Amino acid sequence: MHITEYLEGRSRPLISLEILPPERGQTIEELCAAIETLMPFHPTFINVTYHQQQLVSQRTSQGPRTMLQTKRPGTVGICAAIANRYRLETVPHLLCGGFNAVDTEDALIDLHYLGFRNLFVVRGDPPPGETLFQPTPGGHRYAAGLVEQISQLNRGIYLEELLHATPTEFCMGVAGYPEGHYQSTSREDDMLRLLEKVEKGARYVITQMVFSSALFADFRRRAREVGITVPIIPGIKVLTRPRQLASIPRTFHVSLPQELLAWSGETDPPRFARAAVEQATRLCRELLALEVPGLHFFTMGRGAEVASVLAALREEGDLS
């Protein structure tokens, strides 16, 4: 099914998850353990991130060596494994970075052959150590271009002119940024870029992690004002360790509420995690009061804290 069909047919807000593939050389068992912790809350779909190649320096017996490497390979394999093991809808991320248009079309054909019908389409960040995103030659500079290529394929229009070509059937989600993308010139310009993605074929939006219901409500209001009518799902991150108070804003370019920043000197991780769970639970309750279509949790491969939030919401009657 398409994600939009789940959204349209819901009787309650949906729960969805986002996970990272394991790092190279690791197994998926720890990841599966985190998913199993969350299965009692009936997630509707799971997004699996994709990570483009980067230059990696290694020390070997022959001396230092630099090579291109994907640190977290296996997005398609993880999607297939989860779909097979848990009978859950899985949504692979598709990036601009690392693909030209031909690579993209080949990847889309493979995904369609494998039965995937949902994609989450993002530009992707620059590789570590680089500040500016540079598209692959012949690739897309912005996610809107990638959305447009997929929409063309959905109409049976391939890069090569083909007679009687079979259309694909992809439903696309895209990212929205309540605080504005860190490289945008203004929040207004950023919203117009989101509108462009929707106009080119995106069917729903999941926001960057947001820590304020008022910030989300303002973002949704501004989106509706420019003509974006598709479902908008807030992204939730439950912090787990005090050091994230510094790393999350730096990495994801988001602001944290004062109630979390007040714990910056905390040295007891379990005590901090309990406070973060309480904050996330209040946030989710406020978002549910705004009648959001769902809650999307960035798990980063950890399930216990998200499970604590969902259990509290269920106990208080906020979730069925």
DSSP string covering 127-161: PTT-SS--PPTTS-SSHHHHHHHHHHHHTT--SS-
pLDDT of residue 133: 86
> Is residue 94 predicted with pLDDT exceeding 90?
yes
Find the mean pLDDT for residues 79-87: 95
For residue 301, what pLDDT is reported?
80
- Contact between 264 and 221 under an 8 Å Cβ cutoff? The reply is no
pLDDT class of 192 with cuts at 50, 70, 90: very high
Reported pTM: 0.93
Are the beta carbons of 60 and 71 closer than 8 angstroms? no
Q: Taking each helix axis as running N to C, give the angle between helix 75-86 and helix 29-38, from 0 to 180 degrees, rounded to the nearest 10.
A: 50
Delimit the domains of the chain by residue range.
Answer: 13-315
Which pLDDT value is given to residue 25?
Answer: 83
State in words which class domain 13-315 has: alpha beta
Q: Give me the pLDDT at residue 210, please.
A: 98
The alpha helices in the chain, defined as continuous H runs, are 3-8, 29-38, 75-86, 101-113, 143-154, 187-199, 213-225, 244-252, 258-261, 269-289, 304-315
**Taking residues 187-212, what's their average pLDDT?**
97
* Residue 300: per-residue pLDDT: 85
